[in-house]
Structure 1
Amino acid sequence: MKTYDYLIVGAGLFGAVFAHEAKKAGKKVLVIDKRDHIGGNIYTREVEGIQVHQYGAHIFHTSDREVWDYMQQFAEFNRYTNSPVARYQDEVYNLPFNMNTFSRMWGIHTPAQAKEIIENQIAEAGIREPQNLEEQAISLVGKDIYEKLVKGYTEKQWGRRATELPSFIIKRLPVRFVYDNNYFNDKYQGIPVGGYTRIIEKMLDGVQVRLNTDFFTQREELMKEAENLLFTGMIDAYYDYCYGELEYRSLRFETEVLDMENYQGNAVVNYTEYEIPYTRIIEHKHFEYGCQGGYGGSGSGVSEKTVITREYPASWSRGKEPYYPMNDEKNNALYEKYRTLAKKEEHVIFGGRLGMYQYFDMHQVVRAALKAAQENLTNVGVQ
């Protein structure tokens, strides 16, 4: 006798969406997570009245109306628009690359002027067949933008010099000849009021959840409890690295509470110099309207403190948290070997960034989880 229809490993967004749909379909579900909280990497917690994104900035954005409507049942989203800025030495630039960026960099004012400078720099570089990331980036945006806003940030993020990175990593760089700082092109964008954890709580309402539970240390016992498995961890770990390790990039976060109302004036500031070890500083209160600071002063209801997080890219090794799959040719070929094994499984589903070895934005995670639910939540019952 099996107690559950599904054992779901991972209480992040993919696992929570699938668990919610499974419960609606009348299935018995057990969700486990090795961490002491639900939500995976979108987990938020309140500090000094501010919703802190524990594992880096997460802005929900999509042009998929069905996914947007789906998420609305779990939270009200504010009207946050992602408009990061970049610091290079003592200079500050708007992102993505747009007319505000070009005006600040070159002292020009029209799209024609900006296009001429970029086209001239590309022509001067004379790169016909880019052999590495550096050459690819220069051939797309010219030398000035590359050296100030791309080079250092990219090298920190990947942990390798740009001349050592393959050109295909940067297939395109967004260049906009308008004065618009909206980072995303998507039609819908925002952050849930009250944080992402509340969304996951609602998705998992009525579902059995066990935290501080490591699948690998209790694998045999857990598998006896459920007829089917949804696994959102590392697919190579599931198969005990039988073909070798897939590569990932990790992150390290330093979060602190500051005794001031407003530290940097923006939610996300990227630091593009290679010599500065972190890639960005997040000031969490700026994600939420009405508590950003710098508007009303004392008595305005704005927290007089602020919370910032410095984000450091890090190499990955076993035991560290894998955040980004290294989707180069070598690793994608290795993943295909594991995917071939996965296709042979009759009662195991792999999902999420780690289970599918693919970089997903949140809306893509939701869509993939809904697809998995639609494909698997039929004719499944407790034996």
Structure 2
Amino acid sequence: MYDYLIVGAGLYGAVFAHEATKRGKRCLVIDRRAHIGGNVYTELREGINIHAYGAHIFHTNDKTIWDYVHQFAEFNRYTNSPIANYKGELYNLPFNMNTFHQLWGVVTPEEARLKIEEQRNAAGIAEPQNLEEQAISLVGTDIYEKLIKGYTEKQWGRPANALPPFIIKRLPVRFTYDNNYFNDRYQGIPIGGYTGMIAKMLEGVEVRLHVDYFSNRAELDALAAKVVYTGMIDQYYDYRHGVLEYRSLRFESRTLEHTSNYQGNAVVNYTDAETPFTRIIEHKHFEFGTQEKTVITEEYPTEWKPGDEPYYPINDDKNSLIYRKYKALADQESNVIFGGRLATYAYYDMHQVIAAALHAARKEFGA
């Protein structure tokens, strides 16, 4: 018998398993995939750590979390400064004085503010009701049309004026010449990739891969006193209240044998509607690689259907109502801990997943 069956070898499952094992508990971690790490899995290819499920940049303001992950990996000084490509025109992200200068030729913050205010007033938006109106209120119509509209509609598969305004509020807008996407004090990439970091967390823990929880659920549940579940919460309850919706992603990767540097940056977003992918990732730049070849990945958002990999929850009113019904069921469970982005139907950054797993461990085991 195990004390805990942990369904999912991603960040949440690995952190909880580490904390439980540290306290003398016996854990079994299972995952249906062929690898540990969940979506932060990195795969060594051509001497380059490939972010197999999209770019993952660790960032946090929480020193406790930063110190915690340093038990398992050394981090480099990578700073996320993506570039936007609109039909061959290049702009700095996030929206900052470099972006405003590139677009309008303005030099001072006051000039940029006046330009945005002029476009906001011309749009006549008093209280933003959707993403389009929220974006124009934040940065004006020029930036919305070139750098937000096409990218967002590709990402979500819906018109921008049909999306809720809160989605765009995450985007930084600053009136300084600062291309650092995140405002967080701590930022970087684990040297050697995320898979090594997860492997350190799981040292001393029994892990079984290629194991589908739902194919042998009763047998697996019988192995442990408690279950830590990190999969889709609607699937756990056999979709009795309906199917929660997501956006999914498809990745197309290529090794460029005779190119040492394809785009000069780890992440370039393609913001026009005509380009079918949303961004190209050149993985070597996450770790300042100097290899003679390079690997690039094009990222294509797709409509999710059961059986696909779920990435981004669609937190609209319909799905939020369905999730609350599942949450009510989960709250009644005494021997199941639900955690991670799929089990809580939320978009989490990595530091938030770790914080949630540590909180669950403290609740379970005490300080």
Is the structural similarity TM-score above 0.5?
yes
Q: The residue matched to 2:214 in structure 1 has which SS?
A: coil
Aligned partner of 1:184 in structure 2 is: 182
Counterparts of residues 258-269 of structure 1 (less than 5 Å): 258-259=256-257, 260-269=259-268
Deviations 1:182-229 (A, max 9, x none): 000000000000000001111111100000000000101101100000
Whether the 8 Å contact between 2:268 and 2:281 is mirrored in structure 1 is yes
Q: The residue matched to 1:55 in structure 2 has which SS?
A: coil
Aligned partner of 1:143 in structure 2 is: 141
Aligned partner of 2:27 in structure 1 is: 29
Aligned partner of 2:312 in structure 1 is: 324
Aligned partner of 1:287 in structure 2 is: 286
Aligned partner of 1:86 in structure 2 is: 84
Q: Using the alignment, how far apart are the partners of 2:93 and 2:203 within structure 1?
A: 39
Aligned partner of 2:109 in structure 1 is: 111
Matched, 1:363 2:351: yes
Provide TM-score, normalisation by structure 2.
0.98
Whether the 8 Å contact between 1:31 and 1:208 is mirrored in structure 2 is yes
Deviations 1:302-322 (A, max 9, x none): 211000010111111100000
Counterparts of residues 44-55 of structure 1 (less than 5 Å): 44-55=42-53
Deviates more, 1:211-220 or 1:320-329: 320-329
Aligned partner of 1:271 in structure 2 is: 270
Q: Using the alignment, how far apart are the partners of 2:335 and 2:213 within structure 1?
A: 16
Whether the 8 Å contact between 1:141 and 1:173 is mirrored in structure 2 is no
Q: The residue matched to 1:307 in structure 2 has which SS?
A: strand
Q: Using the alignment, how far apart are the partners of 1:342 and 1:254 within structure 2?
A: 37
Counterparts of residues 1-383 of structure 1 (less than 5 Å): 3-171=1-169, 173-259=171-257, 260-289=259-288, 291=289, 302-377=290-365
Provide TM-score, normalisation by structure 1.
0.94
Q: Using the alignment, how far apart are the partners of 1:166 and 1:343 within structure 2?
A: 28
Deviations 1:314-355 (A, max 9, x none): 111100000111112221121111010001101000000001
Letter in 1 for 2:32: K
Q: Using the alignment, how far apart are the partners of 1:150 and 1:230 within structure 2?
A: 38
Aligned partner of 1:299 in structure 2 is: none
* Offset of residue 173 of structure 1: 4.3
Q: The residue matched to 2:255 in structure 1 has which SS?
A: strand
Whether the 8 Å contact between 1:232 and 1:352 is mirrored in structure 2 is yes
Q: Using the alignment, how far apart are the partners of 1:69 and 1:173 within structure 2?
A: 26
* Offset of residue 96 of structure 1: 0.4
Q: Using the alignment, how far apart are the partners of 1:167 and 1:63 within structure 2?
A: 25
* Offset of residue 172 of structure 1: 6.1
Whether the 8 Å contact between 1:4 and 1:227 is mirrored in structure 2 is yes
Whether the 8 Å contact between 2:6 and 2:229 is mirrored in structure 1 is yes
Deviations 1:102-153 (A, max 9, x none): 1110112111111111110101111123332212211221100100001001
Q: The residue matched to 2:191 in structure 1 has which SS?
A: coil
Letter in 1 for 2:238: D
Letter in 2 for 1:159: G
* Offset of residue 252 of structure 1: 0.5
Q: Using the alignment, how far apart are the partners of 1:173 and 1:114 within structure 2?
A: 17
Q: Using the alignment, how far apart are the partners of 2:104 and 2:87 within structure 1?
A: 16
Q: Using the alignment, how far apart are the partners of 1:131 and 1:181 within structure 2?
A: 29
Q: Using the alignment, how far apart are the partners of 2:362 and 2:182 within structure 1?
A: 29
Q: Using the alignment, how far apart are the partners of 1:49 and 1:253 within structure 2?
A: 20
* Offset of residue 166 of structure 1: 2.8
Q: Using the alignment, how far apart are the partners of 1:132 and 1:67 within structure 2?
A: 34
Q: Using the alignment, how far apart are the partners of 1:283 and 1:174 within structure 2?
A: 23
Q: Using the alignment, how far apart are the partners of 2:41 and 2:254 within structure 1?
A: 17
* Offset of residue 264 of structure 1: 0.2
Whether the 8 Å contact between 1:140 and 1:173 is mirrored in structure 2 is no
Deviations 1:215-269 (A, max 9, x none): 0001011011000000000000000000001111111000110021000000000
Whether the 8 Å contact between 1:250 and 1:315 is mirrored in structure 2 is yes
Whether the 8 Å contact between 2:86 and 2:147 is mirrored in structure 1 is yes
Q: Using the alignment, how far apart are the partners of 1:6 and 1:168 within structure 2?
A: 37
Deviates more, 1:163-172 or 1:146-155: 163-172
